[in-house]
Amino acid sequence: MTPQQLLRISSGQPLIVVIADGMHEPGLDVLGGLTPWQKAECERMRMMTEDEICLVPEGLEASTDVAMLTLLGYDARKYIQCRAPFEALGVGLDVADNEIVVRCNLVKIMGDSIVSHCGDGVTNMEARDIVSLLNDNFATENMSFHAIEGFRCLLKVRGDGAVSQSTPPHDILQKPFPQYLIADECLLDLNVRANKLLASRSFNANGIWLWGAGRLCDLPHFGLCAASISGTPLVRGISRAAGIEVVDVAGADGTLNTNLFGKADAAIRAARNHDIILVHVEACDEVSHQRDTFAKIRMIKRIDDELVKPLQDYVLQNNAALVVLSDHATSSVTGRHLSIPVSCYSYNLK
C-alpha cells in the first residue's frame, strides 16, 4: 500500500488510522526468530488484511516527522529542518520568524557515553527544575530553555544564523558522543557548559543533548476534514501546522500508561464528522529506544486489546475503515530507527 492509496480510502468512507510508533522490527533471536508483534499474539490485528507500507522516502532518516509528513501526502524533504518548531507548535509555544528552535533532550551520561536518551526516567517536576537551573545560568534576551514534557525540552535562539544539525541521542546510546555534538560553536559551547553544570547536581538527568534544530515552516493545508489524537508534541504540532483538528484526551501522555481506551473513544466520536482520524501511540518507540523488548510486547498487546478492538467493533457497524501501521520500524535491540517497509493492517475497506 502507498500513502496515496491510503488517503484515497477516506474519499469513500471515514478512515481511522492508528500509527503505533516504532511497533515493528525484524525477528529477534531472543524471541526464537519471532518479532515482538508476533510474540504479542494480537488477536484483533491478526483478523485484518496485512499489506506493507514504507513512509520513509529513500535517502531520508527514519523518523516520526518524516513518516507523518509522508503519510499526509507532503514531500518530507522540504520540511526536514522543522522538527523542533513542530514540537513547539504542538505545545503552544510561540515561535517568531527570526527564531531557531532546538530540541533539547535531558539525558543520562556516564563517562563519554549517553546511557539514557530520556534522562533515566526524569519526571516533569524534575525537568522543570532542570530547565529553571539552565535558564538561571545561561538564558539571555536572545536564548531560553523551555520544558515541554518529561525529558523533552526545547531551546529557542533568536538570530539569523544557519541551522546546525546533530545526531538524535537515541541513535548513539552507549557510544562515545563527543564527535556527534551539535556543530554550531555557540550551541556546542552551551551544551558542554550545561553538561558540566548538571553533572555537579543530583538530578537523574545529568546532561542535555541539542538536536533537531529548525525554523518555522509553512505547511500547506492538508485538504481533508481530519482529526489527530496524540500525546506527543511532534505529532500534535505537525497536525496543527497542516490545519488538522487536534483532539485532547486525558491521560494520553505518550508513555506506557497512556490512556488507550480514551483514545479509542475520542477516535469514534471524531469519526462521526471527519473524513480521516489519526490516532498516534508513542510508547512502542520509547521502550524500543530503552531496549526493552518485553515491555514492547506488552505494549503491542495493549494496543490490540484496548485500541484496535473497540475501533474494529465501531467501523464494522458504521461503514468506516480502520488501518493500523507503524510510522517506521524501531529495533528493541539497538534502540535505533530502521529504514525498512513495515506491516500495514486494514479492516472493513469498501
For the stretch 51-89, pLDDT in tens is: 999 999 999 989 999 999 999 999 999 998 889 999 999
Q: pLDDT tens digits for 36-55? A: 999 999 999 999 999 999 99
**Residues 281, 321 within the same domain:** yes
98, 194: one domain: yes
pLDDT at 256: 85
State the CATH number of the domain containing residue 28: 3.40.720.10
Report, as an integer, the average pLDDT of 2-16: 80
Last residue of a domain, one of 162, 185, 214: 214
Rounded mean pLDDT of 165-178?
A: 89
Residue appearing with cell numbers 526468530: 33
Residues 6+ apart with CB under 8 A from 132: none
Whether residues 227 and 341 share a domain: the answer is yes
Assess whether pLDDT exceeds 80 at residue 3: no
**Could you tell me if 304 and 231 lie in one domain?**
yes
**Three-class secondary structure of residue 132 per DSSP:** helix
% of the chain beyond a pLDDT of 90: 79
Residues 278 and 205 in one domain: no
- For residue 258, what pLDDT is reported? 92
Say how many domains are in the chain.
2
Which long-range contacts (C-beta less than 8 Å, at least 24 apart) are formed by 24-27? 24/326, 24/329, 24/330, 24/342, 24/343, 25/288, 25/329, 25/330, 25/331, 25/332, 25/333, 25/338, 26/329, 26/331, 26/338, 26/340
Say whether both 45 and 141 belong to one domain: no
Mean pLDDT lowest among 5-19, 137-151, 324-338: 5-19
Residue 46 sits in the same domain as residue 100: no
> Is the domain of 158 the same as that of 225?
no
pLDDT score recorded for residue 4 = 78
Domain boundary among 162, 184, 214: 214
Distance CA 107, CA 88 (A): 20
Once rounded to an integer, what is the mean pLDDT over residues 90-116? 93
pLDDT tens digits along 255-276: 888 999 999 999 999 999 999 9
Calculate the CA dihedral of residues 209, 215, 220, 222 and round it to 10 degrees: 20
Of the residues 214, 231, 259, the one at which a domain ends: 214
Q: Is the pLDDT of residue 160 over 90?
A: no
309: containing domain: 3-80+218-347
Task: Examine the domain organization and report whether 60 and 100 are in the same domain.
Answer: no
Does residue 234 register a pLDDT over 80? yes
